A and B are shown apart, each in its own frame.
Chain A
Amino acid sequence: MATATRGEIFDKVQNTLVDALGVDADDVSSESTLSGDLGAESIDYLDIVFRLEKNFGIKIPRGDLFPENVMTDPQFVSGGKLTERGVEELRVRMPWANLDRLKDNANVQDLFTVEMIVNYVETKLSNN
């Protein structure tokens, strides 16, 4: 799996989300947000983590892919938007996430995209 191309990783992530969320493959694009576009609820994030671990043979530590403790900390998120401290924290915690996309977005949940998962898996596989 260490030699998987980005396209292969995307295909597997797409299948993972189809199974976990019951969405059509056509609905899953790189830009799709998990909550907004694909309808993921809180328990779905755990489901996605389990399936990614199984499908890619990787271990995902708690809070590594979806750092819920950052998202619920008022120091980092206020009124659904990341604070400056929150942005700094996530730049360290989630180097695979595109934080720039949040500049024009109100909801921090939009941070979780299909592309972010692909980036994360690519990073994990390259470190294996």
Chain B
Amino acid sequence: MSSHREAPEISKNPVADSTDLYAFVSPDKPDTVTLIANYIPLESPAGGPNFYEFGDDVLYEIHIDTKGESEPDISYQFRFQTQLPNPDTFLYNTGPITSLTSSAWNRRQTYSVTRVDGSGVHELGSGLICPPCNIGPLSTPDYASALAGPAVHELSDGSVVFAGQRAEGFYVDLGSIFDLLDLRPFQNLQVYAKALGLQAAPGVNTTAFVNVHSIALQVPISKVTASARPVIGVWTTASRQQACILDSDTGQPVYSGPYTQVSRLGDPLINEVIIPLGKKDYWNTQQPGFDKQFAQYYAHPEVSGLLPALYPGVFPNLAALDKAGTVRADIEAILLTGIPTGIIPGFTNFTGPVQADLLRLNTSIAPAANPNILGLLGGDAAGFPNGRRVFDDIVSIELRALAGLTVPLVDKSFTPDAAAGELTDGLTPADLGTPYLDVFPYLGVPYDGFDHPS
């Protein structure tokens, strides 16, 4: 998936596992940028009695490079604290949770938001309450207006923040992708599926009824950009203290030492499909500014080599490109530096020559009146890879780019295969189980456990 369980170590550490990162100019407040970092993959809505929550022992951060040096000029830090008012019951709630101050709610989290920038360390809010998980109509009635809505908090600098459960907004047919890239709409062409006589079929959204935990921040553009530099680079990290002892006397872990990074995420699907298995854990510990060490995997993406092999005769031009050992300068530009001025008329999200996995957003590009889920590939410069909106069809965009559709950006003589412009896992936002919101925090109301028990 975008970055769910994408590396061996972090897959065992879900509260610190960043799953998706979004950055976009807010469509309803275009003088602001919305940043959303999702954590905790594949939450089953009925996963009680210990429902999902952020890690008190995890330092969550959203970093912004404003100067094009792939360094964090601004970092927003989020620290969580769990309260258990009544330790003598096994229940998450002892009755309906009708408000964020309900005494029936027995396991709650609050958090602080700190901004670290060149002027120092600024606490923007503390004691901010998360909403409960969406348990069911009896336990969490009127979830959206009574619980989630009041959990949107204004910070001392005028920004707004939300941290808590949301419906998974990333749509993907995992079952087909990880079954030897057997994209259902094209499985009549896939080498193994074709041998079995399988026919083309619609995609299946694996994440249709799972939740995730979101940290969402809406900040005035002026607070996250440098003067005359509208392009920002965004990434999120999760860090844990280096030493952990499992105290057999108390049954509780004891943490000590400085925080060390265990997860990071900028562009979607990078550690998922660009970085090889042997480097994934290491990649998660690295700073984006050192990503030159991984550039070979962008220059020769494994997926680009797999497509002609798995779909024989469908990608002849891509196969020739691969055979010639051509460096994929288009992928390097899109994912490692941003697209420089002059490549696409009127567009750039170039941050500078430093190769780094950043989600790059040109904040001077206004939200689209009629967004295209294929983003820049669909002629919509307000979408991925110019930042990422919650509805962008990341899977299709990256599949098509890796299949060679974006090679002409750097080599006008190359003709992409016809299939490159059609690749998809067959899904759109219509395959979600619940719609996105039109307003902050934009990701949908989480699925409740009673109505989505499996």
Q: Do A and B come from one complex?
A: no
